Amino acid sequence: MLYQPSMPKRRIIFHVDMNSFYASVEMAKDPSLRGKPLAVAGNVEERKGIIVTCSYEAREKGVKTTMPLWQAKKLCPHLIVVPPDFETYKLYSSQIFRLLQEYTEWVEPVSIDEGYMDVTECQNQLQLAQEIQQRLLHELSMPCSIGIAPNKFLAKMASDMKKPLGITVLRKRDIPHKLWPLKVGELHGIGKKTEEKLNKYGIITVKDLAHAADYEMKQRFGINGLKMKERANGIDSRIVDPSSVSDHRSIGSSTTLSQDIETQSEAEPVFKGLSEKVTKRLETKGYLALTIAITIRYSDRKTITRSKMLENPTRNQEEIFKTAMKLFKQHWSKEAVRLLGITATEVIEKENATVQLDLFSVAKNEKEALLHDVLSSIERKHGEGIIKRGKK
């Protein structure tokens, strides 16, 4: 789906961002929780559980996302803690995007609780934003903030400027006094490590980044350095593309076998190859998998698909492989198989992923991620297949 040539070059984009989405859904389910310090956390019964999200009442007490549960309860003894209910969250998300699509076909979900709208052809955009915000609040009990800007990046920055229930307009002429005074780490897409590296080169504020020399940014950060500078100057040519949802919501690979397989041991190398392909595609697109599904097609062409939601978003090849094999063992009918496939049926941008890890697995996860990045860097430089995994 592409924009029509007759469409005006100057666009008006909304970024609709739900406020404390998981906690808001819990309060919509149980109105008695409204106005109380509430947290959604993994491993609710254990002190080492991690806060996934929390209400603004909890935030006022110092509770934050990814904080250990024991620490949150120390700061807020009356904190109400509930386990995540992902199926209900997905249901609410579907209702939210259906409502947005009543106003324009140009709606691009980017995660379960946020999305872009191109409302260029709509009238009275500020009034429209107010109407959408009120409808979400009154019809679904879902509070949101809306950023209004001429492109996606500025709309995203604008929606973060006032929460909860904010509506913020950010125009190109506002950039010098609204964007440039911010610390460079407050710019969407710049993580802590990148901020530290920028600071090392004397780039402290967004204004510093906006005025940095192109040559130096490219030398130090590659093509991403020029993109960061563009963002600091409010430049972003990306369109709101509803068709991108089909690309991003599932990433998979399948293979028709040259010869039917009839044993589990024959399936293992096939799934290993498929998991490697899916992992590389996730890496290329910068996504993590939330759900893994397998496809089994039998010799009589009967086809089944089975899936499993993961505890934490991942693009770890071994985890994807093990999940696929477990599903195969559970659901294979022992008949001859003609085709096998693995699909990440739900994916999320890495920067939006909240990993529910206990305090001990956080360190392990960081080490694995670091090792993976190093190995990937070596392969990019010297070619795929240069590194072979040893047997454990």
Name the residues annotated as catalytic. 114
* Phi, then psi, of 243 in degrees rounded to 5: -70, -15
Pairing of strands 144-149, 167-169: parallel
Helix or strand run (H / E) with residue 169: strand 167-169
One-letter amino acid identity for 282? L
Residue 150 to residue 11: CA distance in whole angstroms: 5
* Phi, then psi, of 232 in degrees rounded to 5: -65, -25
Residue 117 · residue 106 · CB < 8 Å: yes
Omega within 30 of 0 (cis) for the link into 164: yes
Residue 313 · residue 348 · CB < 8 Å: yes
Residue set of the binding site for Mg(2+): 17, 113
Residue 135 to residue 163: CA distance in whole angstroms: 17
Angle between helices 264-285 and 317-331 (to 10 degrees): 140
Candidates 310, 245, 288, 250; CA nearest to 110 is 245
Residue 16 · residue 10 · CB < 8 Å: no
Residue 339 to residue 273: CA distance in whole angstroms: 13
Which residues partner with 297 through β-bridges?
303, 339
CA separation, residue 360 to residues 50, 65, 232, 367 (Å): 11, 17, 37, 12
**3-state SS, residue 310:** strand
Task: Please say whether the dihedral angle defined by the alpha carbons of residues 35, 39, 44 and 45, taken in this order, is positive or negative.
Answer: negative
Give the CA radius of gyration of the chain.
Answer: 23
